[in-house]
Amino acid sequence: MLEVLVFNDDVTPMDFVVNVLERVFGKSRDEAIKIMLEAHHDGQASCGVYAETHARDLASRAKVCAEQAGHPLKFSVAKATPSG
């Protein structure tokens, strides 16, 4: 399992980040805002934990959305750490 991370930057509009989280990751508006604010305050936030292929696909799709819109928004995948 891999965790998809979104990273804060000082250029990408917050509304755009929320929109990508909703469209690509299927997050509700409230979930997307929470994730965006966490990234904004902490520098990064988890978009969720997914099977490896799905995680890589989601991160890639999100990166393409940002690139096409001309934003430097970054996503990456990392080995998920057990919680608790």
What tens digit of pLDDT does each residue of 31-45 get? 999 999 999 999 999
Determine the CATH number of domain 2-77: 3.30.1390.10
Contacts of 57 (CB under 8 A, 6+ apart): none
State residue 50 phi and psi, 5-degree precision: -140, 165
In which residue are the tokens 């902490």 written?
A: 42
pTM of structure: 0.92
Range 28-35 contact pairs with CB under 8 angstroms and sequence separation of 24 or more: 35/6
Question: How distant, in Å, are the alpha carbons of 2, 4, 35 from that of 30?
Answer: 23, 18, 9
User: At 84, is the pLDDT very low, low, confident or very high (cuts 50, 70, 90)?
Assistant: very low
